[in-house]
Structure 1
């Protein structure tokens, strides 16, 4: 009797093991295309729709940023994948040096509103909830997934737009315009004309060096990545996780790596929060090498000179964008500062950033208003 029971138990365990292996084997391996532009996102095998969720395939690692870029209140699922045996080289202050074959994905989505239809929630992105193995599709509306991939000749950007059924995302090289109804916590609604960029517009943010004009990643820097992430097996620092996964070499301990502030953290230093927000939203353009370098307003993390940061700085050829104000930042007077004026605008000829938003980021404006109001001094 005991032998019979033992054989049954062993048989059940073996069946479970084989079934698990079968399920694992059924998950397709990531397919890196060294050339061409596959018409569907599914061909890359980075993400898959299964069991009512958007799931990550083997080797695809999710990540998040301390302070993320604002995009019309969209939430984002960010992932990275690299070929087996390949790893990025750590850099303290720049984007890591990623190997050929690296693929980043960024899926833009919104939590669904209680009324259904086109209504989505206007809420702060606190990071993706991947408990249960992926994004629960019944609770989110998928908009697009952008890929940024490293080929031999350089980085290439590909925008894929999800269908209404959330079963497939297709390449839209010409971009798309999607009307959304954003519902705030108090029930107020706001219309957003969400723009999926065309391939040329991707250079508006990712062409961070005016000399080379080559596309580059923006987010994967030590200061943005140095934070914890809720993985399936628990909370773990991302730099440590990438190192352990084999995706990063040469990184120091997370405790001594650069770390940006979380712009939403009220306990953090106000200046650090504001600088982190301006760095990720504006610094890739407004930097010594970026497309906005001729403005003389540099908002990247490395800039420390008060005048370069806008303090009592006269605008250069801003035209209508000045709002008839004299200085980019007037210490203690946010409502007389051009920087805040342009952030508060949704006029395409005035607003900053120029790309990636159609509505005003109310919470971001409040942060920068508080930052300017706290500054002391007078402009001559």
Structure 2
């Protein structure tokens, strides 16, 4: 292992500076100011020992429930559903968004899965859409008739997205499905690429139920969900045994007129995962909200669930509105807890007796899992938090024995399990107790922390930031081919925010011993002597400026798994000089990190040859500065497989032609702007990318953690948009 080329370049540069400034003369020297930090090859001479600032176990959630990885030797490609065939516990099936269903033995030692069916060539699962192979339902008599129903988006229509519900049969006694056996029940052309719904299931009455979204865009612009002559925004019920391709059940509310006969219930925005209680037959659903409220609904025959008149229990369009005839949610939550609900199952297993009879649901963005429970005093339903995870929960699955699996869209399967006896939480309640600061003076970092800074920072309402990295001794950073850094288990990142001379908040981002990440906010006291751990989000006034402390759920909305959780820790962001206070030197951070052995693999070239993001308000050319700003402020959500809505991929490395915004029509509403585009070349006022940056309301982007406009950053992006004459 050698670092001589990089070391030599730095030493020669330093010698050159000395040779130019080291001339000897007997003439009087003018007075000089005290010397400041000196340029040097390296900011630190050696890696500091870190015995105190290490990631703790997650704070104890006294719910008696946690998640446990199952089938650990298996991984899947964008899994959307897991299920078993009726009364057959021997196999497990996983539906993959791209168009295939994988099957494997129900054995923890299972090391491989085989293909049950592959219709990838028929499935349009294009980037930037919510499309794909979305649902699967075994016929209740699968053991004898070997029929399975699939719900997917195929090709066709003006948007080339067509919802398809089809029947398939097995020609090998249920071992696989024959793709050539497809019998299409019905199709529905989608007007927009989002809100496809797509879940299907057989009810206890033997009929096939289908959940469809409102057709997409934002705010249901065509009022599909309330239009009884449209199938969008509805639950449908079909008799797939009584006719070809299906018959209408006799009790469907519009079987004899007044609306489409397939409709069972209406007024839904995008029912994403729902199920029947195997004990009572009740239909429970999660319905994804617009921009404020996510809701759990108990669906009944002929029920109207309010969208777009209401979002949750609040008026949406019109305002004010009448709630007459509308069914409010059983429970709901706001976007301080998550961004997109995933419905689950009423628990009927045996492993967790306290959960029996409770509907389990989760949030795709925050990874939180809840159950609906009843207040024993009032009988009112209320949410009970079961677990906080870092999963993008795309679905749940109910096994034959009633136990519930959790599907992480990123690859893996988990199971809800009891935790056993709960121990008191030892998570530090004061910043001075974390081991990451000097306990005698919490304004100073502990000796084991390494300072760092980034080229293009995330906007935080103008706050000054101090950033530190704490690695476990002996552990190193893996640098990916894309320049992103993977930090080892036990890592802690510490960031302190100050307004003026006042410290307001210190956030710790930890990679816990189980490998997951969690974020924790500490609020500084008025005396500036210590900071206290906050259990939830909080707003307060600091001088003449409002400040928002994010909840732990909101932390993982930005620190996404798709972005690697540790935002900002990447080669191009840290390729810059830093003043190291402990040595009073100025040095490049990459050179210093490499010199003290933080990287698994030493740098192969000089820092000048490494990628570098420009500072958005610096002197580099306009487009790279704007793209660096969007990378830092938008790309953690807006990138493939992350939580952002729409097609945008704002990573700096993505060519503009592939970012997916130039002259693209908006999918989440036009904000009342005529002929709006995500990015309209030469016209910031018609570009929602710009409009959302300037907004301070519900349409603001990024949506979390800021209460003030970044006028400097927005002006850079506006100038770039203005400079564009056409799309590449």
TM range (shorter): 0.7 to 0.9
Encode CA deviations 1:12-71: one digit per residue, 9 max, x unaligned. xxxxxxxxxxxxxxx9952425314211111122123767x8222212111000010001
Give the counterpart of 1:264 among 612, 617, 620.
617
CA distance in 1: counterparts of 2:673 and 2:536, whole angstroms:
33
Q: Do structure 1's residue 243 and structure 2's residue 632 form an aligned pair?
A: no
Q: Given the alignment, which residue of 490, 499, 503 partners 1:101? A: 490
**Aligned residues: CA RMSD:** 2.3
Q: Does 1:156 align with 2:518?
A: yes
Q: Which residue of 2 aligns with 1:41?
A: 431
Residue of structure 2 equivalent to 1:63:
452
- 1:283 shift after superposition: 0.7
Determine if the alignment matches structure 1 residue 32 to structure 2 residue 394: no
* Higher share in strand: 2
Q: Secondary structure at the match of 1:235?
A: strand
Distance 1:103 1:338 in 2: 36
Matches within 5 A, 1:1-380: 29-35=51-57, 36=59, 37-48=427-438, 54-111=443-500, 140-153=501-514, 154-181=516-543, 191-209=544-562, 216-232=565-581, 233=583, 234-250=585-601, 251-252=603-604, 253-265=606-618, 267-292=619-644, 294-306=645-657, 308-318=659-669, 320=671, 323-347=673-697, 349-377=698-726
Q: Secondary structure at the match of 1:298?
A: coil
**Following the alignment from structure 2 to structure 1, what is the Cα–Cα distance between the partners of residues 507 and 491?**
14
* Paired residue total: 307
* Distance in 2 of aligned mates of 1:81 and 1:351: 33
Q: Distance in 1 between matches of 2:616 and 2:481?
A: 21
Give the deviation of 1:198 after TM superposition. 0.7
Q: Distance in 2 between matches of 1:295 and 1:377?
A: 21
For 1:308-358, what per-residue CA distance to the aligned partner results, in whole angstroms no more than 9, with x for missing partners?
Answer: 3421111112353x64442111111112211111111111x2111101211
SS of equivalent residue, structure 1 residue 300: coil
1:179, distance to aligned residue in structure 2 (A): 1.4
Q: Is the 8 A contact 1:312 1:331 kept in 2?
A: yes
Which of 1 and 2 has greater Rg?
A: 2
Q: CA deviation at 1:284?
A: 0.6
Structure 2 unaligned regions, length at least 5? 1-48, 60-426
- Measure the CA separation in 1 of the matches of 2:714 and 2:624: 15
Q: Which structure has more RCO (C-alpha within 8 Å, separation ≥ 6)?
A: 1
Whether the aligned pair in 2 keeps the contact of 1:28 and 1:45 (CA below 8 Å) is: no
Task: Give secondary structure in 2 for the equivalent of 1:177.
Answer: strand
What is the CA deviation profile of residues 194-229 of structure 1, one whole-angstrom value per residue up to 9, with x for unaligned ones?
Answer: 11001011111012439xxxx711110111111110
In the alignment, is the contact (CA less than 8 A) between 1:91 and 1:222 conserved in 2? no
- Looking at structure 1, the residues matched to 624 and 639 of structure 2 have their Cα atoms a distance apart, in angstroms, of 18
Question: Structure 2: how far apart are the matches of 1:60 and 1:31?
Answer: 8
Gaps of 5+ in 1: 1-26, 112-139, 182-190
| Matched position secondary structure for 1:143 | strand
CA contact (8 A) 1:208 1:285 kept: no
Name the TM-score, length of structure 1 as normaliser.
0.75
TM-score (norm 2): 0.40
**Alpha carbons 2:657, 2:727 under 8 Å: kept:** no
1:346/1:43 Cα in 2 relative to 1: closer, same or farther (>3 Å)?
Answer: same
